[in-house]
Amino acid sequence: MGENTTGVFVAEIKPTSGCLGGNSTKKYYLRISKFWHEMRAIQMVDLGAQYEKIGSEIDNAIKSVLVSTAFIKGPDVKLFEEELQEYMGVKHVVSCANGTDALYLAMMVLGLKPGDEVITTNFTFIATVEVVALLGLKLVIVDPEPGSFNISVEAVRKAITPHTKAIVPVHLFGQCADMESLMALANKYNLFIIEDAAQATGTDYLFKNGTTKKAGTIGHIGTTSFFPSKNLGCYGDGGALYTNDDTYARKLRSIANHGMRVRYHYDDIGVNSRLDTIQAAILRVKLKHLSKFNAARKAVADLYDEAFAGCHSIIIPERVNYSTHIFHQYTLRVRDRKRDDLKKFLESKNIPSMVYYPGPLHMQEAYGYLGYKENDFPVSTTLCKEVLSLPMHPDMEQDQLDYIVHNVLEFFNK
């Protein structure tokens, strides 16, 4: 690998052996047996490549908002909500400023009070737990399943007390938590379910009776984020809530806009959490492409799976039978404490990778007040040492994928 005379990134790709098993040996040998190969620099998420493809649609959408000057609550916001409602198969989509606010608003609307216990996973982005803490609710964290990375239903069951009021499953990395079992628990103990679907826009949950629902539309309220790198991302911050309940929807709309249903009349104590019209206009463009983008991510995941399945140093991400997977992240587990060395090796080859998440939440300083001990959550503690997410986005090119696969396998064959 090195720089060629024009300064374009180039990579030397040679056939490898060892970890490559069966068909994939042949496939990758044939495809990568070129000598020097020009390649676009690899990124975890390549929003530039996406813009190269849909840029003119995006530019037109932004321009129309600039011309209209309807920057706050312009027509695109309502149209986007309606189009997302249709895509999600849900009665109400209420847009807001970001995915963290969406969680916050959900907990406000459900009337959770200081001291009420909220159970969520120890293996998620910090937003899921910080809103619980900010509202003065009692945060109860539990371990995930090691295979799916999603909250363990058994651990939730054990954590339920007479003070429990809500469960917050996170559909991590693009695959649903076991919603049917969680809903059964919620019904039995009269609990709310708030689904954090920030990483799962477009994932289908498959019920035992053969029906499907989109992630985020199964519990009482679902939340999502349109952070730029999300599967449906805008060009700044954005978020939304999903619900089939008219009362929750009315109250969410009010609280997200200063508690105001009629102009300058305040029915609720609210906040300013609105989706900008420009972001809504961008999201309307991107929503049209979402199914295609998600399918492209799955094709990347299929290729990674096939290439790594025979390598016993790697555990490929589990695909559960009750959910599709939209691969917001493609996250491997690396055995034998080799994760950090693999990451460094890939870095040396100009291949980015990320650790989502490097430290279990219960060991973060800010959450020390919860009084958990280091060994309380063995699964999340182990996952934090083993997980590694590889580049994953809809615009990955075949030569980039070949190069990544080759180098991951090369590391284990050294």
Ligand X SMILES: Cc1ncc(COP(=O)(O)O)c(C=O)c1O
Where on the chain is the footprint of ligand X (CB under 6 A)? Answer: 98-100, 124-125, 127-128, 170, 196, 198-199, 225, 227, 237, 239
Closest residue by beta carbon to ligand X? 99
Nearer to ligand X, 19 or 193 (CB): 193
Q: Which two tokens stand for residue 375?
A: 């060994």
Q: How far is the CB of 106 from ligand X (least distance, A)?
A: 11
Q: State the residue for tokens 């975890």.
A: 44
Minimum separation from the CB atom of position 217 to ligand X (A)? 16
Q: Which is nearer to ligand X, 297 or 406 (CB)?
A: 297
Looking at the DSSP bridge assignments, the partners of residue 214 are 204
Nearest distance, CB of residue 196 and ligand X, angstroms: 5
User: How far apart, in whole angstroms, are the C-alpha atoms of residue 230 and residue 196?
Assistant: 13
Provide, rounded to whole angstroms, the least separation between the CB of residue 307 and ligand X: 26
To ligand X, the closest distance from the beta carbon of 52 in angstroms equals 25
Least gap, CB of 373 to ligand X (angstroms): 25
Closer residue to ligand X (CB): 255 or 342: 255
DSSP string, 340-403: HHHHHHHHHTT---B-S-SS-GGGSGGGGGG---GGG-HHHHHHHHHEEEEP--TT--HHHHHH
Query: If DSSP codes are grouped into helix, strand and coil, which group holds residue 171?
Result: coil
The DSSP annotation for 248-279 comes to HHHHHHHHTBTTEEETTEESS---B---BHHH
Query: What DSSP string runs through 88-110?
Result: HT-SEEEEES-HHHHHHHHHHHT
CB of 172 to ligand X, least distance (A): 7
Burial of residue 86 (number of CB atoms within 10 Å: 0-12, 13-18, 19+): exposed
Q: Is 157 exposed, middle or buried (0-12, 13-18, 19+ CB in 10 A)?
A: middle
363: exposed, middle or buried (Cβ count in 10 Å: 0-12, 13-18, 19+): middle
| Shortest CB 125 distance to ligand X, Å | 4
Least separation in angstroms between residue 126's CB and ligand X is 8
d(CA 141, CA 380) in angstroms, rounded, equals: 11
Copy the structure tokens of residue 309.
């399945």
What is the nearest approach in angstroms of ligand X to the Cβ of residue 101? Answer: 7
Cβ contacts of 52 within 8 Å, gap of 6 or more: none
**DSSP sequence for 327-352:** -SSEEEEE-TT-HHHHHHHHHHTT--
DSSP 292-304: HHHHHHHHHHHHH
Q: CA 28, 34, 36, 40: dihedral to nearest 10 degrees?
A: -50
Contact 301, 330 (CB under 8 A): yes
Partners of 393 in beta bridges: none
Backbone dihedral region for residue 271 (phi beyond 0: left; psi -120 to 50: alpha; all else: beta) = beta
Residue with Cβ nearer ligand X (25 or 128): 128
On the question of a cis peptide bond just before residue 357, with omega within 30 degrees of 0, the verdict is yes
Least distance in angstroms from the C-beta of 173 to ligand X: 9
